[in-house]
Amino acid sequence: MEITNVMEYEAIAKQKLPKMIYDYYASGAEDQWTLQENRNAFSRILFRPRILIDVSKIDLTTTVLGFKMSMPIMIAPTAMQKMAHPDGEYATARAASAAGTIMTLSSWATSSVEEVASTGPGIRFFQLYVHKDRNLVAQLVRRAERADFKAIALTVDTPRLGRREADIKNRFSLPPFLTLKNFEGLDLGKIDKTNDSGLASYVAGQIDRSLSWKDVKWLQTITKLPILLKGVLTAEDARLAIEAGAAGIIVSNHGARQLDYVPATIMALEEVVKAAQGQVPVFLDGGVRRGTDVFKALALGASGVFIGRPVVFSLAADGEAGVRKVLQILHDEFELTMALCGCRSLKEITRDHIVTEWDHCRRLPPLPSARL
Ligand code: FNR
């Protein structure tokens, strides 16, 4: 079947994967209100396209933390990718590198930092969950540094695991032929079957619920890598993140898998961008499935976006080729959106190119100054 948009991969993945695995990838927390909302909210933002601008050349390139990239679309950390495809994180790493973008490797990957590094060149970030055992965390961060990862994305929305009911019903566990490779040999590489979601039990046993702002400082004492805080949803926390030394902020609700009834990330983005006052870059993930979504996020002030589920679904459908295709489709759709909005570079994308439902009090740009 010819794939014409990113969302089509989900149906293929659903057909191909065992139910326990598909449900783990697809689910949100509890009522899954935020899961729907992450998508729906994009449809409350409409374009104000500008016309008669020469768009014969469009430049999608950007830099993230100083690294040059082909486009502002990156790969979010998603755990256990070998459940989707035997090549798992290797395939994702290669696809990201071929597309000239960044892959973020999950702490709970089924390939280790060293294995992913061995797939070849590429700019990669390492997502960190802070285990109770701080020596283990420090070791892992050192390994990521040695494997040439360029930043740490510290996940700050998961002191406990959100209640994902499908995982509870399915008694989710990691298939026995797989391990959380970063923890292999440390007796923490397995997610066993329990009377609950096995992952929820793992998190309850291993993850440090006491994690707080002082630990963001602590992390800076053990690494020189820039630290992105992943999971910020409010202006208050954006300010604290900057004061704590974060090099960037990822507006994320964990793909709606943690606290249900938080706003869609695209709704929370603007307050965080305003609070950040341009001091650090602000990124967004959650529900990005179209090039138009990418444009809307940038118009609201994001420096780039990350995608989660499209990667695991396309991986399940078609391995590395699937992930490459997802990145290509989003690239092409985003480029087309820019052209049709009259933007030739990311710098030309402005707040005036969109209007949101919550803009009714907002003044339209002043007339009559013709701004070409
Ligand atoms: C995730 N996410 C995630 N986040 C994180 O910090 N560490 C992790 O290991 C994982 N694992 C993970 C697995 C799966 C299957 C999903 C769907 C998500 C959250 C992820 O990084 C990102 O925030 C969301 O996936 C973004 O939303 P979309 O693009 O999936 O809608």
Two tokens, residue 106:
């999950």
265-276 and 33-40 helices, crossing angle to 10°: 70
Helices within the chain (DSSP H only): 8-16, 19-26, 33-40, 88-99, 113-117, 134-146, 165-170, 198-206, 213-222, 235-243, 265-276, 291-299, 309-341
Task: Indicate the annotated binding residues for glyoxylate.
Answer: 24, 129, 164, 254, 257
* Confidence at residue 76, expressed as pLDDT on a 0 to 100 scale: 98
- The ligand 1 atom nearest the CA atom of 254: 23
What distance in Å separates the CA atoms of residue 315 and residue 12, rounded to the nearest whole number? 10
* Confidence at residue 245, expressed as pLDDT on a 0 to 100 scale: 98
Residue of minimum CA distance from atom 16 in ligand 1: 78
* Confidence at residue 256, expressed as pLDDT on a 0 to 100 scale: 98
What distance in Å separates the CA atoms of residue 12 and residue 64, rounded to the nearest whole number? 32
- Distance between Cα 242 and ligand 1 center (Å): 23
What distance in Å separates the CA atoms of residue 274 and residue 128, rounded to the nearest whole number? 26
- Distance between Cα 312 and ligand 1 center (Å): 10
* Confidence at residue 115, expressed as pLDDT on a 0 to 100 scale: 98
Residues near 366 by Cβ (< 8 Å), separated by ≥ 6?
none
Two tokens, residue 86:
């035997």
Beta strand 248-251 with 282-285 is parallel
What distance in Å separates the CA atoms of residue 202 and residue 84, rounded to the nearest whole number? 20
Pocket test for ligand 1, best of 10, 257, 290 (most atoms within 8 A of CB): 257
* Confidence at residue 358, expressed as pLDDT on a 0 to 100 scale: 87
Per-residue pLDDT tens digits for 111-131: 999 999 999 999 999 999 999
Counting every residue, how long is the chain? 372
Per-residue pLDDT tens digits for 69-110: 999 999 999 999 999 999 999 999 999 999 999 999 999 999
Lowest-confidence range among 52-61, 256-265, 352-361? 352-361
* Confidence at residue 337, expressed as pLDDT on a 0 to 100 scale: 98
What distance in Å separates the CA atoms of residue 364 and residue 345, rounded to the nearest whole number? 23
Question: 143: buried, middle or exposed (CB in 10 Å: 19+, 13-18, 0-12)?
Answer: middle
Residue of minimum CA distance from atom 10 in ligand 1: 78
- Of 85, 131, 254, 353, the active-site residue reads 254
DSSP string, 121-179: ---EEEEE--BS-HHHHHHHHHHHHHTT--EEEEE-S-SS----HHHHHHT----TT--
- Distance between Cα 96 and ligand 1 center (Å): 16
* Confidence at residue 195, expressed as pLDDT on a 0 to 100 scale: 86
Alpha carbon dihedral 181, 182, 188, 190, in 10-degree steps, equals -20
What distance in Å separates the CA atoms of residue 126 and residue 25, rounded to the nearest whole number? 20
254 given a catalytic annotation: yes
* Confidence at residue 114, expressed as pLDDT on a 0 to 100 scale: 98
Residues near 140 by Cβ (< 8 Å), separated by ≥ 6?
107, 113, 128, 182
Task: Indicate the annotated binding residues for FMN.
Answer: 77-79, 106, 127, 155, 230, 252, 285-289, 308-309
Number of Cα atoms under 13 Å in the Cβ half of residue 195: 0
Contact residues of ligand 1, CB 6 A cut-off: 25, 38, 76-79, 106, 108, 127, 155, 230, 252, 254-255, 257, 285-288, 307-309, 312
Residue 32 pLDDT more than 80?
Answer: yes
Residue 368 pLDDT more than 70?
Answer: no
Per-residue pLDDT tens digits for 40-76: 999 999 999 999 999 999 999 999 999 999 999 999 9
* Ramachandran angles phi, psi of 22, nearest 5°: -55, -45
How far is residue 232 from each of residues 156, 239, 251, 268, 302, measured CA to CA in Å?
8, 10, 5, 9, 13
* Confidence at residue 190, expressed as pLDDT on a 0 to 100 scale: 87
- Distance between Cα 132 and ligand 1 center (Å): 21
Per-residue pLDDT tens digits for 204-254: 999 999 999 999 999 999 999 999 999 999 999 999 999 999 999 999 999
Residue 361 binned pLDDT confidence (cut-offs 50, 70, 90): low
What is the widest separation between alpha-carbon atoms in the chain? 68
Per-residue pLDDT tens digits for 174-197: 999 999 999 988 878 888 888 889
Residue 364 binned pLDDT confidence (cut-offs 50, 70, 90): low
- The ligand 1 atom nearest the CA atom of 108: 9
- Distance between Cα 147 and ligand 1 center (Å): 22
Domains identified in the chain and CATH numbers: 8-355 (3.20.20.70)
* Ramachandran angles phi, psi of 52, nearest 5°: 55, 45
Residue 307 pLDDT more than 70?
Answer: yes
Q: Do residues 30 and 162 lie in contact, with contact meaning Cβ atoms separated by under 8 Å? A: yes
Pocket test for ligand 1, best of 89, 254, 258, 262 (most atoms within 8 A of CB): 254
Per-residue pLDDT tens digits for 275-300: 999 999 999 999 999 999 999 999 99
- The ligand 1 atom nearest the CA atom of 104: 21
